[in-house]
Structure 1
Amino acid sequence: MTTPQLVSASELERTSVVANNTMNRGRGLAGVNSYARELGLDPLAHLSARPAAPSWLDLCSGEGRALREAATALPADAVLTAVDLVGPLVPVPAPPTLEEVVASVASWAPQRTYDLITCVHGLHYVGDQLGLLVRAASWLAPDGLLLAHFDPDSVRWADGSPAGRAAVAALRTAGFRYSARHHRLTLEGARQVVLPLGYVGADPGAGPNYTGQPAVGSHYSPC
């Protein structure tokens, strides 16, 4: 087995597999190509059922179309945050309830908690996928919900051997639910998560994942 050449977060974000990805750029709130379909949950209905001031954080949000659509339908006290490495390619003023942040999810952190946190196919382009999940778990409201697509095959040990089963087992022990059929992780309620895998670097040459698109390999060592 050839040990892959691993890169840092800053190097990874300059590679074509991350900088040029279009996986989530135009996805809307509902319909065929939508958050509702990909997540198995209607974000607007979920947030509308909240008693007051619903809040939604979308990581790797692309153009932020889904949150823009939700902003027009939710109450004026809603808080919506879209975070993306590139952000909208054509600047258009955001609705008052929507904050669009152009930043790396590898280092960005919010100043508040959220009722709903989503990452639609975004983890495929993140080096430390498990690290982001650990951090996002602490950003949830006490009764908040996190939904994210996750590909266990992209998680590897430092030498390149598969670590997906160990990663899923650790996530389930921490309280996450994983649907292999939908490649989707779910977590209910804020918590401090500690996983027994230490991040060592990313492989931008891992090749296509289950979506058919080039993706990133995330490499870890036991700890």
Structure 2
Amino acid sequence: MARSVNNGSDLICIFFGWTIILGIFVLAPVLIVLFGYPSSPSFSVNLFDNQALNMTKAYEPATNFTIHFDLKLKNRNKAIGIHYPDPINITFSYFPNVSFLVTLAEYKLDSFYQGNKKTRHVRDVVEVNGFPTVLEGTNMIAFRVDLVGTYRYKKAGTKRHKVELGCVVSVDYTSSNKMQTGFIELVEPGLDSNLHVKNFTPQYQYYGGR
């Protein structure tokens, strides 16, 4: 009887041993993906959402122009939170021509923490003095949004990562309609395209030179 009990115990030990080994082989790649190679956060913006733009009053005396924006910050990681330890600086500008950029307003977002797979919307308004002019040679106003900040993953031994992103949003001066709708992803300056007037497709282009 004692031998039978021992054999049963041995089988149970072997079963649990193989279960643990298989669990390690299955879980290890998943844990490496989740914690070893975290994804950077994504940023996108929607300018003038639900805002009626009246460009025909642009040059009337004492005209105050406001920029309504909805900035979306998304943590794409399922298992890692993200700290934004420093204020995030956002600059709103426009192109009077292809080689010059004029700053309209600046906005600062205080530091915060973002949990796993969380998305934060920052909806606000900035007021500018004066009014942007059309892009030379076109009938549209080419706005640009720049974002500069830092982030750090919530895990041991991680350092701060700097992020510098931007996008271009255009508005038809005659109709006051945006040429792109919804959120536009902010991209790295290394993904720049040349800002040619005749072939200007702002939903895909971002001019990095300041």
TM-score range, shorter chain: under 0.3
Q: Which has the higher strand share?
A: 2
- TM-score when scaled to structure 1? 0.21
Q: Which has the larger radius of gyration?
A: 2
- TM-score when scaled to structure 2? 0.22
